[in-house]
Structure 1
Amino acid sequence: MAKQRKVTAVWARIGIYAFLLAAAAFFLLPLYVMLTTSFKSMEEIRLGQIFALPSAPSFDAWRAAWSEACTGVSCEGVRGGFWNSVAIAVPSVVLPILLGAVNGYALSWWKPRGGEWLFGILMLGAFIPIQVMIYPLVKLEAALGIYSSLPGIVVVHLVFAMPIMTLLFRNYYAGLPAELFKAARVDGGGFWRIFVQLVLPMSTPMLIVAAIMQITGVWNDYILGLTFAGRENQPMTVQLNNVINTTTGERLYNLNMAATILTSAVPLLVYLISGRWFVRGIAAGAVK
């Protein structure tokens, strides 16, 4: 009986590993094709051997994608879009996280008058599709004079990020020991002093989770950047679309693949570097 259970456990483990390997191959295969294609010449791509390794790897397509590819009438690659994305992402990550942390802290422990109504409105906003809000936001920002500008796109990202950021931090802070806050209040700590000196130092896992989610969402955004950023502040995703769709004559697949990988490099690096912190933050109460 024990031997039969051991055999069953071995086969179950083999099945689990086989499934995991198949799933990993399924998701990694497109990335493999993109990488190998970006290092090939167009002559080699025309052979149709999509899974073959490049016979003579070259960075020419990467250099062209970064600084020479045409994005409409301009032929400066996606380099400008990268710095535009950085300028958009930094305030669009920092501001929602800070405001979400303050909101979550206030709603979980200070219970302001009307706080439950405010939280309900924020949660309702999380379920409204972005497309429904685009036209009203365009009219509002045009009236305020910030449409098609860097502050305009940052405000839009801030608005759409507030519900989920507030929910994450509220649930996380609600799981902290109540005795800590009671002791801090007895010692004379006020709202901001407790938040800065006590709450924020304990929020590292959740801050990293929120940063990963916000960086990924802002960097990968296309429709909001296209609509609100304006021609001078187009993010990298918009310029990637322009690179792929403004090709004349022969379509340069190696250049398109290189530009796509360059555009997705930042979210990939963020996940690779801070993946364990993301799991730790989720386990600490991010989705309670």
Structure 2
Amino acid sequence: MTTSPTARSRGSRPGTGLPVGRIGLWAFILLTVLFFLAPLYVMIVTSLKTMDEVRLSSIFALPMHPTFEAWRFAWSEACTGIECHGLQSGFWNSVRITVPSVAVSVLLGAISGYALSYWKPRGGEILFALLMVGAFIPYQLFIYPLAFAFAKTGLANTLLAVVMVHVFFGLPIVTLIFRNYYAGLPHELVKAAQIDGAGFWRIFRSIILPLSRPILVVAVILQTTGVWNDFLFGLIFGGTNNQPMTVQLNALVSAQFGEKPYNVHMAATILTALIPLAIYLASGRWFVRGIAAGAVKG
């Protein structure tokens, strides 16, 4: 029996019927998954080992006697500089920084994107262009002026200063995301609501927000990841009493002398990355849907 030209054109091997292209695709996906999961696997198994096991066994070997002692030590006793209270204080500082930063930037970005998409205010295009310029200028250029301004206003070394900086630098890209998403929604909905007498805020609250769930998830994940993983802003503007978890993690890893407690370091790193990872896993379906719906429109 001869193979049809159609089968050959689809990439099947003669006599097998196996799609070579699909096998190659799955092989690539598998290798990619292994590439990204291998470091996570090493971190998890190392964090569950004692230091005797870390010294004597392979980094890929499973722990013979799993223990969470390294996790407990990293959370409550590890030294982050001169303080030996673990990462727990940095964790709650990161929470106090991330929650208002994400909430304010996402809310303002949604309102700005809605206004620029539907209401076309005078000077809106100029404002949008300025936002885009601000989004792509390296933020390192603004560190000294911001530090000087916060020092003059008494906001230096406060959580409020860190939150304000994250809102300033997150707002342009969040506005762009919302504007692109709203540009793909049917404008007839807003026009019909205007005919019925609904105003700016009523339309936003009753029509736009209920349709914004996918893009809200995208904006929240992007902002949460950026704010939670930030090191530079927390180090410069937070002061010693308001250091986020990433700053304390750096101090924990770099302040060790002699033998490195790799199990504690791995546990501390996983604890630091746990919140963004949990948020993404809990809302990944909406994230993919929002990216596909809005991020490629303009």
Provide the C-alpha distance between the structure 2 equivalents of 1:7 and 1:117, rounded to a whole number of angstroms: 54
What does residue 71 of structure 1 align with?
Answer: 80
Provide the C-alpha distance between the structure 1 equivalents of 2:176 and 2:152, rounded to a whole number of angstroms: 30
- The match for 1:247 among 245, 256, 260 is 256
Provide the C-alpha distance between the structure 2 equivalents of 1:277 and 1:146, rounded to a whole number of angstroms: 37
Q: Which runs of 5+ in 1 are unaligned?
A: none
Q: Deviations over 1:159-206 (max 9, x none)?
A: 000110110111111111111111111111111111111111111111
Would the aligned equivalents of 1:205 and 1:277 in 2 still touch at CA under 8 Å? Answer: yes
Question: Higher helix share goes to which structure?
Answer: 1
What does residue 165 of structure 2 align with?
Answer: 156
RMSD: 1.2
Q: 1:3 to 1:176 in 2, by over 3 A?
A: closer
What does residue 247 of structure 2 align with?
Answer: 238
The answer to whether 1:272 aligns with 2:277 is no
Alignment of 1:59-208 (within 5 A): 59-208=68-217
Q: Moved runs in structure 1, 4+ residues, more than 4 A?
A: none
Would the aligned equivalents of 1:88 and 1:150 in 2 still touch at CA under 8 Å? Answer: yes
3-state SS, counterpart of residue 231 of structure 1: coil
Q: Which moved more, 1:157-166 or 1:49-58?
A: 49-58
- The match for 2:39 among 30, 37, 40 is 30
What does residue 10 of structure 1 align with?
Answer: 19
Q: TM-score, normalised by structure 2?
A: 0.94
CA shift, 1:248, in A, is 2.5
Provide the C-alpha distance between the structure 2 equivalents of 1:148 and 1:52, rounded to a whole number of angstroms: 44
- The match for 2:48 among 39, 64, 78 is 39
Would the aligned equivalents of 2:178 and 2:294 in 1 still touch at CA under 8 Å? Answer: no
What does residue 272 of structure 2 align with?
Answer: 263
What does residue 209 of structure 1 align with?
Answer: 218
CA shift, 1:286, in A, is 2.4
Q: Which runs of 5+ in 2 are unaligned?
A: none
What does residue 66 of structure 2 align with?
Answer: 57
Provide the C-alpha distance between the structure 1 equivalents of 2:69 and 2:262, rounded to a whole number of angstroms: 12
Provide the C-alpha distance between the structure 2 equivalents of 1:217 and 1:111, rounded to a whole number of angstroms: 30
Provide the C-alpha distance between the structure 1 equivalents of 2:7 and 2:129, rounded to a whole number of angstroms: 56
- The residue type paired with residue 156 of structure 2 is Y
Q: TM-score, normalised by structure 1?
A: 0.97
Q: Which moved more, 1:240-249 or 1:97-106?
A: 240-249
3-state SS, counterpart of residue 227 of structure 2: helix
- The residue type paired with residue 116 of structure 1 is E
CA shift, 1:26, in A, is 0.8
Q: Deviations over 1:2-60 (max 9, x none)?
A: 45447245221111111111111111111111111111111111125111111111111
3-state SS, counterpart of residue 233 of structure 1: coil
Would the aligned equivalents of 1:168 and 1:287 in 2 still touch at CA under 8 Å? Answer: no
Provide the C-alpha distance between the structure 1 equivalents of 2:293 and 2:84, rounded to a whole number of angstroms: 47
What is the identity percentage for the equivalent residue pairs of Structure 1 and Structure 2? 60
Q: How many pairs align? A: 288
3-state SS, counterpart of residue 56 of structure 2: coil
